[in-house]
């Protein structure tokens, strides 16, 4: 009985070690460190933008430029916005080390009078795996049309 317990314990330890190695290999592949020879690192020129005054109903956009300063290829997986009034589009191509791309954020100010502070989360194969881009706008009411 005691031998069976030792054998079970040894098998569990071996399984644990292999699962840890597999998890690390999967993380390396997801981050790009195996496939590209290194981990990508993103640097945005700015992570904050101020639109200033915007007339209600106006649609405004801004492109957040970035550079891959890492040693592996950078891939943007998705861009998620904090509000339905905000849409993010991004460079779909893989960004090689030293390469550049952008994330363009569009804001629709319809029915958004007052100070607005919104964000988009950029999900990438970097470490950390995301970046938050923010913007503000002061939406002023559109002039009323006279009949």
The domain total for the chain is 2
Residues of the domain holding 11: 1-31
- CATH number of the domain that 91 lies in? 2.60.40.10
25 pLDDT above the threshold of 70:
no
Q: 63-92: per-residue pLDDT in tens?
A: 999 999 999 999 999 999 999 999 999 999
Q: 86-143: per-residue pLDDT in tens?
A: 999 999 999 999 999 999 999 999 999 999 999 999 999 999 999 999 999 999 998 8
pLDDT of residue 143: 85
15 SS3 class: helix
Distance set, CA 50 to CA 73, 87, 108, 142 (Å): 30, 16, 15, 20
């Amino acid at each position: 009985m005691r031998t069976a317990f030792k054998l079970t314990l040894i098998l569990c330890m071996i399984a644990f070690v292999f699962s840890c190695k597999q998890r690390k290999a999967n993380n390396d592949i997801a981050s790009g460190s195996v496939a590209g020879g290194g981990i990508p690192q993103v640097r945005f020129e700015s992570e904050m933008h101020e639109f200033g005054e915007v007339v209600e109903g106006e649609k405004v956009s801004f492109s957040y430029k970035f550079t891959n300063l890492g040693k592996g290829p950078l891939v943007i997986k998705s861009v998620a916005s904090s509000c339905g009034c905000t849409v993010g589009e991004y460079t779909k191509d893989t960004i090689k080390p030293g390469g550049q791309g952008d994330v363009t954020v569009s804001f629709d100010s319809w029915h958004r009078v007052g100070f607005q502070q919104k964000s988009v989360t950029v999900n990438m194969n970097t470490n950390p795996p995301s970046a938050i881009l923010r913007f503000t706008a002061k939406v002023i009411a559109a002039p009323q049309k006279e009949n």
